[in-house]
Structure 1
Amino acid sequence: MANGQDSGPPGTELDMPALNANKKGFLKNERDNALLSAIEESRRRTFLLAEEYHRESMLVQWEQVKQRVLHTLLGAGEDALDFSQDVEPSFVSEVTAPGRSALDSVEVAYGRQIYIFNEKIVNGHIQPNLGDLCASVAESLDDKNVSDLWLMVKQMTDVLLVPAKDTLKSRTSIEMQMEFVRQALGFLENSYKNYTMVTVFGNLHQAHLGGVPGTYQLVRSFLNIKLPGPLPGMQDGEIEGHPLWAVIYYCLRCGDLNAAMHVINRVQHQLGDFKTWFQEYANSPDRRLSPTSENKLRLHYRRVLRNSADPYKRAVYCLIGKCDVSDNHGEVADKTEDYLWLKLNQVCFDDDGSSSPQDRLTLPQLQKQLLEDYGESHFSASQQPFLYFQVLFLTAQFEAAVAFLFRVERLRSHAVHVALVLYELRLLLKSSGQSAQLLSQEPGDPPTVRRLNFIRLLMLYTRKFESTDPREALQYFYFLRNEKDSQGENMFMRCVSELVIESREFDMLLGRLEKDGSRRLGVIDKFAGDTRAIISKVALEAENKGLFEEAVKLYELAKNPDKVLELMNRLLSPVIAQVSAPQSNKERLKNTAVAIAERYRSQGIAGDKFVDSTFYLLLDLMTFFDEYHAGHVDRAYNVMERLKLLPLSQDSVEERVAAFRNFSDEVRHNLSEVLLASMNILFTQYKRLKGAPAGTQGRAQRTLDDRDTQLRGQARALITFAGMIPYNMAGDTNARLVQMELLMN
């Protein structure tokens, strides 16, 4: 019983070691599972982070592409999305042959004038008249519509002696608007006088031109063609067989008040008070009767003439008295130019309170009527784009006129250069934000004011040819040198950087580095004093787009050795362990790196100490691998020995581990390959040692034994080093190192 009390369960003492072993195995298993779980969690987080970065990068790129697409669509205006409207044919093929210019003959002609203009500016000469330069293009085109367009632009912009500091304030001032109306009337009157002359001299037999040369005789001859013989309803006075009021009207239509006065003086007995009113009108600097006279004329018109059968008489009274502004006088003003001339004559600028709203027409009212109430469909703008452009431009709606003409592809170049002329004269109202539509309204502006997105206009225009004709695109971007985007970035620099990246014409545009380190000038040097800032901007853009080799060249041009070496380190790191082959990626990068190293050493250029040392270490490692792959194991061993990167004795392991902490990621990335190559070199030397002839004795044998011991010691040092460094190498690196080390024992 005593023995029974002392004894426990059967086999307890015998199983204790097994329990301890099981416990140790369980703990080891738990520890391994914890490590594996931590590794798996780290891997999962790394992949999630990489996916997130990739997604954000793709979103940024898509946003940029989306902006380009939207800019193109919005650049054509909202109507561009209406596929039902008539589309103007394009004179330029949508597909340009590779290596050929994307510019058509008209665009080339304009581009030549822009080059001349910019040359004068950058060389410090007196700034030429851009309008005259562009108008000279029209002369070579033999297109009357284009010639008239530039005559109109020249006439309407000839209003300022000094460029306005505040364009909006200047454009909306009464004085400026009055001047615009005077210039528009002058253009319409000169055009009509030329038209009458062409008509008369083209029909001399019917015109019966004779008498003293002048507007009166010209009008008489013109009426012989236009109104042959007496017409019903026009018998309210005659002069030499022609309707009196028709003669007065056409003298006014040709802009000759003296000729009209000549007619009035000859028949003054038929006109009553009209002669007095007309004399006052003709002598007024702004073509306006006094309030008293105007009220008398309007009263006479309402009582006596409103229902007159003579449309010319009604039209003349409405011109002189600026009355009955709702009457379009369709019998007389049967063409758009005539209607426009009549309405501009009726525009009032002062509000004396004596006129009722229905008898008063302001310029903003006329602008709204033409742009919004009537619009493009009323004027058949798609069939007659020049006419609608004229309607808008002559009513000082420059931005709307340019935006409309820009949408007609075959006329786009004309629109852009009209905008450039307005911009240089500081007459163009620009959008405050680059993201705005091509034509937009902004809060705080008068209701009829529109603004043009000038930056987008130029960028849309140059997009067609910037990849094939970067020099010409650069000329246009120079106009943006004083413009900034919403982030405050200079638009000239931004456009130049995008142009260089798009066209890849780095050497031509930005210059290039010669072998001696000097810089050959590029096209950009003519336009910018501080070319280094622009080159740095382009280099950064290239770097952000992953064009590292191009960025290296650009940073060299910008004299930024830190970035040059930093990017070269990034480029060299993935290829240094590869086998060199002619025309390979490694060979190209190696030649670039060696050229940089030689140039920097000869010129005493050095970057940041850490980046600099990494660069030269990577070059040395490249030499190491070249020797290794060529089978020159002893040379490779000597290179590695000089680099002191790896421990070649047990005593130097801790020192090398400590030094390893200071190496960059570009060096660490190659650690696995460096260790494997070094171990392979030791193993090769070991096999060669073992293959020495048998029977060696004495000192020679001791030397071989010492070398054998040294090689095995070096292999163990590499194994120890690989296990101590705080860096995760490729999964099978340690196994392969251990395998080769075991083969040496």
Structure 2
Amino acid sequence: MDTEGFGELLQQAEQLAAETEAVSELPHVERNLQEIQQAGERLRSRTLTRTSQDTADVKASILLGSRGLDIFHISQRLESLSAATTFEPLEPVKDTDIQTFLLAEEYHRDSMLVQWEQVKQRVLHTLLGAGEDALDFSQEVEPSFVSEVGVPGRSALDSMEAAYSRQIYIFNEKIVNGHLQPNLGNLCASVAESLDDKNVSDTWLMVKQMTDVLLVPAKDTLKSRVSVDMQMAFVRQALQFLENSYKNYTMVTVFGNLHQAQLGGVPGTYQLVCSLLNIKLPTPLPGMQDGEVEGHPVWALIYFCLRCGDLSATMQVVNRAQHQLGDFKIWFQEYMNSPDRRLSPATENKLRLHYRRVLRNSADPYKRAVYCLIGKCDIGDNHGEVADKTEDYLWLKLNQVCFDEDGSSSPQDRMTLAQLQKQLLEDYGESHFSASHQPFLYFQVLFLTAQFEAAIAFLFRVERLRSHAVHVALVLYELKLLLKSSGQSAQLLSQEAGDPPMVRRLNFIRLLMLYTRKFESTDPREALQYFYFLRNEKDSQGENMFMRCVSELVIESREFDMLLGRLEKDGSRKPGVIDKFAGDTRAIITKVASEAENKGLFEEAVKLYELAKNADKVLELMNKLLSPVIAQVSEPQSNKERLKNMAVAIAERYRTNGIAGEKTVDSTFYLLLDLMTFFDEYHAGHIDRAYDVIERLKLVPLSQESVEERVAAFRNFSDEIRHNLSEVLLATMNILFTQYKRLKGAAAGTPGRPQRTLEDRDMLLRSQARALITFAGMIPYRMAGDTNARLVQMEVLMN
């Protein structure tokens, strides 16, 4: 039974297999158990992945849904985004011209370097510090008798600065008119005389005294300044100034105390000093040596006569007390007769030996001071008992300065001018002399030791004294006595490699530009007077500083007409202030125009280029200005209206005077003017007039026959014309469409009109529209936006 059952099953299976093979052409797939297991695992993993993704989507929907976001719509929007339109180039990428690219890169790099240099100069010009030890004078208030009331009006100059500027104007007027050059020091000193300020008066008196030296024409100012003859002259002038000042002080003191001074006898320095001693030394001091003359210590009389600079009065005292003075009379006679106030080496050695053996520890301070002065010895002794004021100390030290190379002198007996300069400027410095409270005194100390540049830089840092410092620098500059920095980017006061140790240089250009910055925007005429001093200076790029400063001044102040002149209606130029200072004004005007163009001030640049008679640049810039506005609606006071009036005036002047620019630029300019007329008529609704204008211009084709010709002509148009092509095509198509609608309306309203005429006109308009479409598709230019779509839409409406 069981066997029959299994046999029956086997038979049925074989029958099924036979039927399957008969009706089906399915391939036989034979797999072992391992392959079946692997296939099952793959099916299982796919099912799990889809399930996991669905689970993740569900979780994301729950999370974002709780925040009010619809993940389904977000997914659809993300899937619809395409980067193709974003990154599709507007124009075909051309083959790279490596040589032109490198030239452009080089030009760009050079331009950036020049601009960066200019930016650095502007930054440096705003920083007034002369170093880390610069003092802050902002809290100081020194009584001044100078009026703080400025010049009436909008001027930024105070009364003192205005007074100085008037003298600078007088000085420049003489020069530009070819007259004999006046003494700038005397002109500036006259300002001090009008001020009730003794410090300012004394300062200019000192400047005049120190600059009254024999000037030898020299191209190298440094070589002239450090020469022995020039330095000896400076020391001689400084001593003379200090001696004259002390004599004036003595007279004021004596005449202010006549009762105590008991002035009498023969007028002169001797009696004046005797009267001074009646006030200063009413009773003899202990320790005085070698007796008295007329009741006064003999060495005190000798010292004060020397201090007043009167050697004859000193000799008078020596003669009266010669028996008590030993060999001093012989030594003093030699000193007095020496042209440079210097003993011979032999006599000097004798005096120094006597001083070291007998007088070094003497109780008489006046005697020690006189011997140190005559013998130029013991420079370490400051003689504080006698020289109790800065001026006295300076006078004593200047008397001890040596210029000859004397190898026999010991270091304690020899002081050079450079050593004295270092001691005053670096060792003592501003704090020692209380420069913040006594700026004039410290200025005097530096100036009398021939440290002109350091003195000017210091005084310039004091805001209320800045004008004095600048004009002292101008005086020295005109006399070729000022040491200038070789680089414009240097600090106000600097040292340069290769210069002697104590030589300082002043950044004269920076000094002048810093000073004029205060008033150049309100008083450009006055600023121009100061810039004229820079006519022979050049910046690091080799550019003339006068032209550069004038350029910046004009652009900052916007006083184009006043400074550079004005163009009259007939095309002639009315001279400006600059004509007085420069022979070739066209070069300066061109420079200013170029600066204005670089800063994007195109309208101003157009006026300036027209002043400079540069028609090509005038028309080139006008094309750039007109191109963006010609398609706009013209309204009163609008940019288009202003530029239109400007362009029409230029066109009328050029046609009247027969002036023309380069052919391409010239034709572009007049074509833009005609297009402006076309758009004005179009926006005003004068369709037929606008059609006539565009037809005469032959810019776009109005027939199928002229398409090829207009496409070929398009290649010669400049970018200023091409940029407006979209608007021109749309406006022209609108005109055709308006005429088409008007034609249809006329046909419906006047049934009696000949049908043939209407059909011809209809076909002509549609043909013109198709010509525009064909032209738009053939030109090698990618027009803006949806221009083509709008053109096609209107053309379709006409069909």
What TM-score comes out, normalization by structure 2 length?
0.85
AA aligned to 1:709 is: M
Contact 2:213-2:233 at 8 Å conserved across structures:
yes
Partner of 1:466: 520
Partner of 1:319: 373
Give the whole-Å Cα distance in 2 for the aligned partners of 1:88 and 1:233. 44
Deviations 1:132-191 (A, max 9, x none): 000000000111100000010000001124443221011000011000000000000000
Cα deviation for residue 700 of structure 1 reads 3.3
Contact 2:563-2:577 at 8 Å conserved across structures:
yes
Give the whole-Å Cα distance in 2 for the aligned partners of 1:520 and 1:476. 23
Matched, 1:386 2:440: yes
Matched, 1:39 2:39: no
Give the SS at the match of 2:89.
Answer: helix
Matched, 1:111 2:161: no
Change (3 A) 1:537 1:125: same
Give the whole-Å Cα distance in 2 for the aligned partners of 1:535 and 1:102. 26
Aligned 1:73-472 pairs, distance under 5 A: 73=127, 75-79=128-132, 87=140, 100-472=154-526
Query: 553, 575, 593: which one pairs with 2:647?
Result: 593
Cα deviation for residue 93 of structure 1 reads 13
Give the whole-Å Cα distance in 1 for the aligned partners of 2:83 and 2:463. 69
Matched, 1:491 2:521: no
AA aligned to 1:742 is: V
Deviations 1:442-466 (A, max 9, x none): 0110000000000000000000000
AA aligned to 1:110 is: Y
Cα deviation for residue 108 of structure 1 reads 0.1
Q: CA RMSD in A?
A: 2.8
Change (3 A) 1:652 1:525: same
Change (3 A) 1:81 1:322: closer
Give the SS at the match of 2:690.
Answer: helix
Partner of 2:634: 580
Deviations 1:411-438 (A, max 9, x none): 0000000000000000000000000000
Contact 1:99-1:468 at 8 Å conserved across structures:
no
Contact 1:555-1:564 at 8 Å conserved across structures:
yes
Give the whole-Å Cα distance in 1 for the aligned partners of 2:676 and 2:427. 75
Give the whole-Å Cα distance in 2 for the aligned partners of 1:200 and 1:688. 111
Give the whole-Å Cα distance in 2 for the aligned partners of 1:168 and 1:66. 27
When structure 1 is superposed on structure 2, of 689-698 and 471-480 the one drifting more is 689-698
Give the SS at the match of 2:126.
Answer: helix
Give the whole-Å Cα distance in 2 for the aligned partners of 1:692 and 1:658. 37
Partner of 1:547: 601
Number of residue pairs matched by the alignment: 710
Aligned 1:482-561 pairs, distance under 5 A: 482-561=536-615
Deviations 1:635-658 (A, max 9, x none): 000000000000000011111011
AA aligned to 2:411 is: P
Partner of 2:721: 667
Give the whole-Å Cα distance in 2 for the aligned partners of 1:694 and 1:165. 95
Cα deviation for residue 247 of structure 1 reads 0.2
Gaps of 5+ in 2: 1-24, 27-81, 94-100, 102-106
Change (3 A) 1:579 1:644: same
Give the SS at the match of 2:654.
Answer: helix
Matched, 1:730 2:765: no
Cα deviation for residue 67 of structure 1 reads 3.9
Change (3 A) 1:252 1:36: closer
Give the whole-Å Cα distance in 1 for the aligned partners of 2:149 and 2:783. 52
Give the whole-Å Cα distance in 2 for the aligned partners of 1:117 and 1:163. 21
Contact 2:125-2:513 at 8 Å conserved across structures:
no
Cα deviation for residue 89 of structure 1 reads 6.8
Deviations 1:290-343 (A, max 9, x none): 000000000000000000000000000000000000100000000000000000
Contact 2:747-2:758 at 8 Å conserved across structures:
no
Give the whole-Å Cα distance in 1 for the aligned partners of 2:592 and 2:163. 30
Change (3 A) 1:224 1:97: closer
Query: 592, 601, 625: which one pairs with 2:679?
Result: 625
Contact 2:672-2:721 at 8 Å conserved across structures:
yes
Give the whole-Å Cα distance in 2 for the aligned partners of 1:444 and 1:155. 30
Cα deviation for residue 360 of structure 1 reads 0.2
Deviations 1:93-119 (A, max 9, x none): 999999711100000000000000000
Give the whole-Å Cα distance in 2 for the aligned partners of 1:688 and 1:182. 102
Give the whole-Å Cα distance in 1 for the aligned partners of 2:287 and 2:263. 26
Give the SS at the match of 2:186.
Answer: helix
Give the SS at the match of 1:78.
Answer: coil
Contact 1:647-1:656 at 8 Å conserved across structures:
yes
Partner of 1:13: none
Partner of 1:721: 775
Partner of 2:61: none
Cα deviation for residue 65 of structure 1 reads 4.8
Give the whole-Å Cα distance in 2 for the aligned partners of 1:416 and 1:36. 61
Rg (Cα) greater in structure: 2
Give the whole-Å Cα distance in 2 for the aligned partners of 1:199 and 1:243. 20
Give the whole-Å Cα distance in 1 for the aligned partners of 2:123 and 2:769. 61
Give the whole-Å Cα distance in 2 for the aligned partners of 1:313 and 1:302. 13
Aligned 1:585-734 pairs, distance under 5 A: 585-694=639-748, 700-734=754-788
Contact 1:325-1:361 at 8 Å conserved across structures:
yes
Contact 2:596-2:605 at 8 Å conserved across structures:
yes
Change (3 A) 1:484 1:104: same
Partner of 2:41: none
Change (3 A) 1:96 1:262: closer
Give the whole-Å Cα distance in 1 for the aligned partners of 2:539 and 2:330. 58
Change (3 A) 1:98 1:225: closer
When structure 1 is superposed on structure 2, of 33-42 and 261-270 the one drifting more is 33-42
Give the whole-Å Cα distance in 2 for the aligned partners of 1:639 and 1:736. 22
Contact 2:232-2:403 at 8 Å conserved across structures:
yes
Contact 1:88-1:410 at 8 Å conserved across structures:
no
Cα deviation for residue 234 of structure 1 reads 1.6
Contact 2:149-2:159 at 8 Å conserved across structures:
no
Higher relative contact order, structure no. (Cα contacts within 8 Å, ≥ 6 residues apart):
1
When structure 1 is superposed on structure 2, of 59-68 and 140-149 the one drifting more is 59-68
Cα deviation for residue 353 of structure 1 reads 1.3
Give the SS at the match of 2:194.
Answer: helix
AA aligned to 1:479 is: F
Change (3 A) 1:105 1:94: closer
Partner of 1:15: none
Partner of 2:12: none
Give the whole-Å Cα distance in 1 for the aligned partners of 2:111 and 2:544. 25
AA aligned to 1:336 is: T
Cα deviation for residue 84 of structure 1 reads 9.3
